[in-house]
Amino acid sequence: MSAAAQSPTWTESLVSGLPPNRRYILTHDASGKSIIHSSPRQLYTGNASAAMAKSFATSSTPADLTHDADISSYLSITGSTSHRDADIVPTEPSGSNLLVIDIAPGGEYQMHRTVSIDYSICVLGLIKMELDGGEWVELRPGDHVIQRGTMHKWYNDSQTEPARFVAVTLQCEPLEIPGTGKMLAEEHLAGTNAE
């Protein structure tokens, strides 16, 4: 979901039946004590079948936490680390994104690949992931996949209960996809429920 490709609409909920997704951003007070900085509402973009929220993002790893600059950047309305930026993968080479993806009962997210390594963890429901090579992975809460630039599609396997997974995405070095002669590039296949 590239922000450059579309101007996303943001809302607090797109997939019904899921509990609110709360996150707490922590920092230090003037005396060095650990405190909660804020707990802003999560904003989603997508559709009623599948929606994504950027829960946090940094422009570098290691992250610069000086004077809460990372928090200010995330809470701003614009910018690549803004909570309103819809890129799956950080645009800065050493950046990081924390994403929450909600999938409605029977919903699916289009077949795609990104130039990234993604750590995706099922936290609610039963999620299936289809690979373009024909294999399937079934994820229950706690199960996770390490996505390495592979073509994949997410499904909620339940027809009655919504599902949620959390992913951390980091850029990876482009590589030649074995047997294709093509370099790894972000790709979203049309006709696979693309928005």
Instruction: Give the contacts of 67 (CB within 8 A, at least 6 positions apart).
Output: none
**What is the number of helices (H) and of strands (E) in the chain?**
1, 13
Mean pLDDT of the residues in the chain: 91
Could you identify the residue written with the tokens 């993002």?
57
Q: Does residue 7 have a pLDDT over 70?
A: no
Query: Which of these, 6, 9, 87, lies nearest to 48 by C-alpha position?
Result: 9
Of residues 135, 96, 130, the one with CA closest to residue 116: 96
pLDDT in tens, 89-119: 999 999 999 999 999 999 998 999 999 999 9
88: tokens are 């799956």
Stated as kind and residue range, the H or E segment containing 142 is: none
To the nearest whole percent, how much of the chain has pLDDT over 90?
A: 77
Topology of domain 25-188, per CATH? Jelly Rolls (2.60.120)
Q: Rounded to an integer, what distance in angstroms lies between the CA atom of residue 6 and that of residue 88?
A: 13
C-alpha distances in Å from residue 133, one per residue of 90, 91, 97, 130, 137: 26, 28, 27, 8, 12
Q: Other CB atoms closer than 10 Å to residue 143's CB: what's the count? A: 15
Handedness of CA 68, 21, 128, 110 (dihedral sign): negative
CB atoms within 10 A of CB 148: 12
Give the model confidence (pLDDT) of 41-77 as tens digits. Answer: 889 998 889 999 999 999 999 999 999 999 999 999 9
Paired sense of beta strands 116-124 and 108-113, if any: unpaired
- pLDDT tens string 118-140: 999 999 999 999 999 999 999 99
- In contact, 184 and 149? CB cutoff 8 Å: yes
Measured between alpha carbons, how far apart are the two ends of the chain, in Å?
9
Predicted pLDDT of residue 1: 44
